[in-house]
Amino acid sequence: MMRLWVTLACAQLAAASASRWKSQQFKSIVTFGDSYTDESRLNYFSEHNGTAPPPGWVDPVNNDTASGGYIWARYVADYANVKLYNYAVSGAVCSNKVAPHWFSTINNNFPSVLEYEVPAYLADSKVINANDSRPFLDIPPAETVYSIWIGTNDLGSDGFLRDSQIAGKTIPDYTDCVFSALDQIYENGARYFILQNLAPLQLAPLYATPERHGVFNLKNGNSSTNVTEISYRMWQIVTTANAIYDYQTPFELLVQKRYPGAHFAVMDMYNILQDMYFNPEEYFEHPPNVTGFNNYCDDPNSPSCPRPSNPDSYMWFNPLHPSEKTDTHIAQRYIEVFKGESKYATYWS
């Protein structure tokens, strides 16, 4: 009986929180993350010997992202007519002090959320445009959504999956890092947050089981690896981290009172993408393909980079990254979240 009462109380709280989102008219989104979200920021680092963009740098629109085209956040901006400020960096982890990710091109770790992306946003928030004396980040708290989607690299083959994190670090250190990043964004005035949980990485071709045409051995050049074990371990890691998000978010807001006056939505990327995978005919052109990918440049057995004539049939662009078609669906689900009407979100205030 007590468990039922708690469940009903939580449902009522979530419904009341969703109503707050419905009353808002958002004009901007600010995004943090990795290659699932990056538009052009890593390109700047690569083209400038590892130097970061200066404060006030405008992230250019790019139709050659990790999706093979435009990224989901750009589609959100276009579909919803909102301004996009994108701080995501391909290859990023939440913190290089938890699960560092090395980038040989710049002879350093990939710029992370906690050590680079959030400080870059904070620096930009202090910039005033010389031509009109307006803030570079013209983002009133009631009109702006902040989102973070990070973890693909933290938990991936260069991170927790193969025990490559800093010794002694655990999955809760990764989720705690996410909330530490949100602390700084909140202190700078943010009040509406979308926390995007982890994708079902065990279904991505890179980490899929052999019967789902997983290519982990091809990508890593080790035919002796037990791909099934890799896939199941990834499944366990991802679902564990997502379960932590489900419980830690209301704990931080309602029990710890960590973010007074803030409004959170936990966006269920796991089930959004899983639904696409298991119901592909509802999302992709015929014949849908959710186990393959349409960019074979990462395939060591392919001497060239052939592209199929029907890219909108594919869920994945390459072994790890969702396709542009998938990103259009993610954008639509994201807009539903910030309108307070998503079945794929849990709202907390």
The domain that holds 40 is classified in CATH as: 3.40.50.1110
Residue 103 lies in a domain: yes
Total domains in the fold of the chain: 1
Digit-coded pLDDT (tens) for 167-206? 999 999 999 999 999 999 999 999 999 999 999 999 999 9
Tokens of 206: 């890179």
Answer yes or no: is pLDDT of 47 > 50: yes
Assigned token pair, 261: 């006056």
**14 close to 73: Cβ distance less than 8 angstroms:** no
**pLDDT for the residue 6:** 41
- Mean pLDDT of the region 33-54: 97
Mean pLDDT of the chain: 93
Domain for residue 16, yes or no? no
Alpha helix ranges (H) inside the chain: 2-22, 41-47, 72-80, 118-124, 171-187, 216-220, 227-250, 269-278, 324-338
Task: Answer whether residue 317 is part of any domain.
Answer: no
User: Is 178 contained in some domain?
Assistant: yes
Q: What is the tens place of the pLDDT at every residue in 222-240?
A: 677 899 999 999 999 999 9
Is 113 a member of any domain?
A: yes
- In this predicted model, what pLDDT tens digit does every residue of 271-317 receive, in sequence order? 999 999 999 999 999 999 999 999 877 555 565 676 777 999 999 99
Reply yes or no on whether the pLDDT at 112 is more than 80.
yes
Domain of residue 163 covers: 25-202+227-274+328-348
Q: Would residue 120 be called left, alpha or beta, if left means φ above 0 and alpha means ψ between -120 and 50 degrees?
A: alpha
Residue pLDDT, tens place only, 62-107: 999 999 999 999 999 999 999 999 999 999 999 999 999 999 999 9
116: nearest Cα among 174, 187, 39, 34: 34
User: Has residue 260 been placed in a domain?
Assistant: yes
Q: For residue 118, tell me if it sits in a domain.
A: yes
CA geometry: angle 336, 248, 239, nearest 5 deg: 75
What is residue 308's predicted lDDT score, i.e. its pLDDT? 75
The region of weakest confidence among 21-25, 144-148, 299-303 is 299-303
Model confidence at 2, pLDDT cuts 50, 70, 90, reads very low
User: Which residues make Cβ contacts (< 8 Å) with residue 151, sequence separation at least 6?
Assistant: 34, 94, 174, 198, 241
State the pTM of this model.
0.94
- Predicted pLDDT of residue 300: 52
- Is residue 301 domain-resident? no
Query: Taking 50 as the threshold, does the pLDDT of residue 245 lie above it?
Result: yes
